[in-house]
A and B are shown apart, each in its own frame.
Chain A
């Protein structure tokens, strides 16, 4: 029996024949022909309309995708647990308050951008408020310049005018009096933290108890629950209709990669087996390996992007170990960290003593006021130099803190993830390492990269770098390759070389996505239809 398509094709062919053979000599036959063409055009246009309607109806039916109700709930739960982890983990209160990031930005990149500097300063005040320390402009008393600027800024913030002309004018005025005002603000924030450190530590101690009691879990258990939820979320997302369709719509996936013949070709290339000849059990097992390889490769690729940070940590550890070896294991009475801490204390006392003197009106004999402005100017100059000296000390202290933390927390049994995590905890250190890697990076890009690193650590379901120890001398790529070779995959060292790795990732991703699509409501044909019609209708 003839198919419907064949009949239509024949009908078109016959009608075409009619038009071609009808006579076109003489006005009468031309008129008849024109009428026939018009009638035929009308007939086919009607059919075309009907077909387009059917095409659109089917498109609309196919593209109805429900939002998975579990996903936003999981997302919320993960964020809630992450917040609990960030409040209870081993970082110091300083990092928990995000002061490391704030002071880095105040000190460095935002000198040239007043608007951002102001945001950081206001954020700083809010962070202190969040841990129960209410600070005002009076707390910015390291110098009269810091105080003058913060008085204007906080007043304007109170009025809802964070970038008012008044603030700009004040900054300009203060800046011409002391071009190091931003350094003064930096030192002042660090001083305020030091001043209230014990209270803030107590706040986090209480908060940790409260959070963990509320969740009825230990910190490790909260972390494990979060990882389990991330895993669950990924499982759902992998086969979610809306997400799959969205990836084709936004161009992340290309339907041409998902033709059956391409799938078979890649399968053969990677497994050396014809997919259609595999038993159901074999196919399921291989698909499971493909899924794991896909996760491992993505993690490996992403980690390579941020490897410089863990290398930075390991280099410091190496240097420290060498230094300790040189010192023959003798433990110095005072560490560099202790010495800097003491010097900071001394210099701070000195600066505030000077400030006290400057604030007292000088009285001459019989209480008469004396003009001491020249003398005061010299004192102020010296005091300003001390503030800059204090800033240097704080920056040296940061270097010592990271060394101390590395030596306290990283040993041969630490995993690569432990190292990367530690590097990401300290914003100033992370920023320095990012700049070392890319000297041309802009402050915006730096901020984004730092966030991406932290997100990678926070929201990944790690299956490689959390297991591999830093003492493992084998290359990460070899470890992955060897594992999957055991499962029958044709992987070689060359696959992991620069230029080839992306190709391998793409192929494994296609296999994995193909398998996931088949678990969704769509078939490959459905998606092919949707994408063709979408282009046709320009939806």
Chain B
């Protein structure tokens, strides 16, 4: 399943909150990774 096509209406209330929490946390991870790799890019250039 592609995450973009997620059917939010199919989720129960608690599942909806749980998934949103996981996604939010993953976005935070991605932002941190982006910062780290960006620094690496600066160091290499």
Contact = CB atoms under 8 A, between A and B. Distances in A.
The answer to whether A and B interact is yes
A357 B2 CA distance: 106
Contact of A15 (B1, B26, B38, B45): B26
A51 B10 CA distance: 11
Majority-rule SS of A interface residues: helix
Interface residues of B, number: 34
Nearest to B24: A48
Interface in A6-43: 7-9, 11-12, 15-16, 19, 24, 26-27, 30-31, 33-34, 37-38, 40-41, 43
A425 interface: no
Nearest to A31: B41
A47 interface: yes
Which of A24, A47, A48 has the most CB atoms of chain B within a 10 A radius of its CB? A47
Contact of B33 (A9, A19, A43, A529): A19
A355 B11 CA distance: 89
Contact of A5 (B15, B31, B37, B41): B15
Contacts of A526: 13
A436 B11 CA distance: 62
Nearest to A2: B1
A34 B34 contact: yes
Nearest to B8: A54
Contact of A19 (B3, B16, B20, B30): B30
Contact of A54 (B9, B18, B37, B41): B9
B4 A43 contact: yes
B6 A529 contact: no
A229 to B, nearest CB: 38
Contacts of B22: 8-9, 12
B30 A8 contact: no
Contacts of A4: 1, 6-7, 10-11, 15
B1 A11 contact: yes
A529 B17 contact: yes
Contacts of A41: 27, 30-31, 34
A46 interface: yes
B13 A5 contact: no
B13 A529 contact: yes
B16 A51 contact: yes
Contacts of A43: 3-4
A34 B33 CA distance: 9
Interface in A37-77: 37-38, 40-41, 43-48, 50-55, 58
A48 B41 contact: no
Given A4-B10, A24-B40, A52-B20, A47 B15 contact: no
Nearest to A22: B37
Interface string A135-167: 000000000000000000000000000000000
A471 interface: no
Contacts, number: 103
Contact of A16 (B6, B11, B29, B40): B29
A27 B42 CA distance: 9
B19 A5 contact: yes
A47 B6 contact: yes
Contacts of B4: 43, 46-47
A156 to B, nearest CB: 63
A33 B37 contact: yes
A533 B16 CA distance: 11
A55 B33 CA distance: 28
Nearest to A41: B30
A46 B30 CA distance: 14
Contacts of A58: 13, 16
Contacts of A529: 13-14, 17
A12 B20 CA distance: 12
B13 to A, nearest CB: 4
B3 A532 contact: no
A525 interface: yes
A34 B41 CA distance: 9
Nearest to B41: A30
A43 B4 CA distance: 7
Nearest to B17: A532
Given A40-B30, A44-B30, A51 B19 contact: yes
A48 B23 contact: yes
B22 to A, nearest CB: 6
B17 to A, nearest CB: 6
B17 A533 contact: yes
B37 A47 contact: no
Contact of B17 (A9, A24, A55): A55
A4 B30 CA distance: 22
A525 B14 contact: yes
B11 A50 contact: no
Contacts of B41: 27, 30-31, 34
B38 A34 contact: yes
A7 B10 CA distance: 13
20 contacts: A8-B22, A12-B26, A15-B3, A27-B41, A27-B45, A30-B37, A30-B40, A34-B38, A37-B30, A37-B37, A38-B34, A40-B30, A48-B27, A51-B6, A53-B8, A54-B8, A54-B16, A55-B16, A525-B14, A529-B13
4 tightest A-B contacts by CB?
A54-B8, A529-B13, A51-B20, A41-B30
